[in-house]
Chain A
Amino acid sequence: MSYFSDIINGTKTLLTGMRVTGGYFFVNFFTKRDVITQQYPNNIETLEMFDRFKGEVIMLHNENNEHRCDACTLCEKACPNGSIEILGDKAKDPETGKNKRFLVKHIYHLQMCTMCGLCIEACPVNAIDWGQDFHHVEYDRSLLTKVLNKPGSKIMSGIKG
């Protein structure tokens, strides 16, 4: 007896479940709303991310190609996995005549970065920030090592060295 009641119950519950999936199928077929699957976004160029999105670390530059980094290496020390290397040098400041440290290269290894954000939190002059780019696909690992300060850029006036 339970053999037949099992078959009837099984069919009944199966149909209840199929009413859910069938409902979505027909509603989406005619109205195109509540779509569950979607294509991979091909509008990568115009896709807007949330403003706090952590894509990569970038260095902020103003319109005169000046940045705020004074090569204090606090971000290098804060980084848990050595993603940041700072090459700095010392030169005489023409205004004060004292030796002042300046940035040569801010090297950022994106392949090692875990997006923890400790470098950005450690920066005392807000020289680095989050970038929105998420499409980090390269054929070679070494291409992910980036120099964050743009070529020919120099430090903004008014930042202490």
Chain B
Amino acid sequence: MKEFLTDQLKTQEYFLNMGPQHPATHGVLRLLLKLDGEIVRNVDMDLGYIHRSIEKMCERATYKQIIHLTDRLDYLSAHMNNEAVCLLAEKALNIEVNDRIKIIRTIMDELTRISSHVLWWGVTGMDIGAITTFMYGFRERELINDIFEETCGTRLTMNYNVIGGLRYDIHENFVKRTKDILTHLKKKLPEYDKLLTNNIIFQKRLINIGVISVEDAIAYGLNGPTARGSGVSCDIRKTHPYSAYDMVDFEEAIFTEGDSFARYKVRIKEMWESISIIEQLIDKIPNDEHKVKTKAVIKLPVGDFLQRVEASRGDFGVYVKSNGQKFPERLKFRSPGFANLTALNKMAYGLKIADLVAILSTIDVVVPDIDR
């Protein structure tokens, strides 16, 4: 019988479409898999399903109007994206913002980072098969979104930074609510460890899955928590401090294993670091203006400008080539998700499809950020 099977039936590699509407791809991302049985032999990415040509739209928008478009890139780190454009314009126009603006921006950044990582934690659990984590993740996220809604007016696309400061001053309940969420998180994050991190079944799905070495991580240009899981020190908050990050003392979360579990641990540790950053700053908000006066029509001087910030998925950069008009001549966004996705083929080679889903969720892709 066995001889008959080996002689008559041949095995061959085949192609399988994962996406563009697959729930585990976190958006409209199409992966063209070359499979040998269940083993992944090659991963081809097909992008462009939600390409909105935001960079081209920015060339027809004034600098004030560009800010609200950056919300729509990586919507889970909308605040950092806004801040990148504002910092770039402030750097080009030599606008000095006061400490109040800097500190509020930093607190908002870190709240955004926590809310993004909490959502990621829930979704990762769900990708691997634990539905409870999704509910628990959203419980904390709702509380943070309430802070944003009270101060900025919206929950996701905040659009709170403007060139030269902040759109509104913080709400009077802001400090109290932020302190409440910190005590809440400090109670709930150990629960995350009990529920998911220490679970052997969960660990076996992640440990030694999707390993990428330091050399490969640097060669592929990985950034953010994905690269820090491989031991690359690449935190823009440490290397090029902006806003109030030079006033605070925090540790860059680095793990050297390079597997999916290391990337998981980096994000859990980053949440603790964000809590400590907010704790250091929340009582230090000085009384001052929330906005520096700027001209009605903002024109950047002739030249090239670049600003990088650490978004929740990594190094987000804005490059503007200005010809002195009120529109930029050319604008380019450097998004963290695109660089991280390129290493997927390297990480997933020789693994099963279920492992590919685990890798995809620990890279933490947000497709609007990749496609723009």
Contacts and interface: CB of A to CB of B under 8 A. Distances in A.
Contacts of A118: 64-65, 68
B136 A13 contact: no
B153 A54 contact: yes
B200 A13 contact: yes
A80 B171 contact: no
Interface in B132-156: 132, 135-136, 139, 146, 149-154
B132 A21 contact: yes
B94 interface: no
B187 to A, nearest CB: 11
A39 interface: no
Contacts of A19: 194
A36 B198 contact: no
Interface string B166-178: 0110010000000
A6 B207 CA distance: 15
A114 interface: yes
B157 A52 contact: no
B196 interface: yes
Contacts of A20: 191, 194-195
A14 interface: yes
B198 to A, nearest CB: 5
Most buried by A among B65, B68, B151, B153: B153
Contact of A116 (B65, B151, B171, B200): B65
Interface in B3-62: 61
A14 B191 CA distance: 13
Given A10-B201, A118-B65, A52 B153 contact: yes
B154 A80 contact: no
Interface residues of A, number: 25
From DSSP, what is the main secondary structure of chain B's interface residues? helix
Interface string B74-107: 0000000000000000000000000000000000
A16 B194 contact: yes
B135 A37 contact: yes
Interface in A27-78: 36-37, 50, 52-54, 78
A130 interface: yes
A161 interface: no
A136 B161 CA distance: 27
Interface in B196-254: 196, 198-201
A50 B150 contact: yes
A117 B135 CA distance: 32
A143 interface: no
B195 to A, nearest CB: 4
Given A52-B168, A80-B61, A118-B64, A17 B199 contact: yes
Given A13-B199, A17-B194, A20-B191, A115 B61 contact: no
A36 B67 CA distance: 34
B196 A36 contact: no
A24 to B, nearest CB: 9
Nearest to A23: B191
Nearest to A130: B153
Interface in A74-93: 78, 80
11 contacts: A10-B201, A13-B199, A14-B201, A16-B199, A17-B198, A52-B153, A80-B69, A116-B65, A116-B68, A117-B167, A130-B153
Given A6-B200, A54-B154, A80-B69, 9 more contacts: A13-B200, A13-B201, A17-B195, A52-B150, A53-B154, A80-B65, A115-B159, A116-B159, A118-B64
**Complex A-B, nearest 8 residue pairs according to Cβ-Cβ distance, in ascending order:** A116-B68, A80-B65, A52-B153, A54-B153, A10-B200, A17-B195, A50-B150, A13-B199
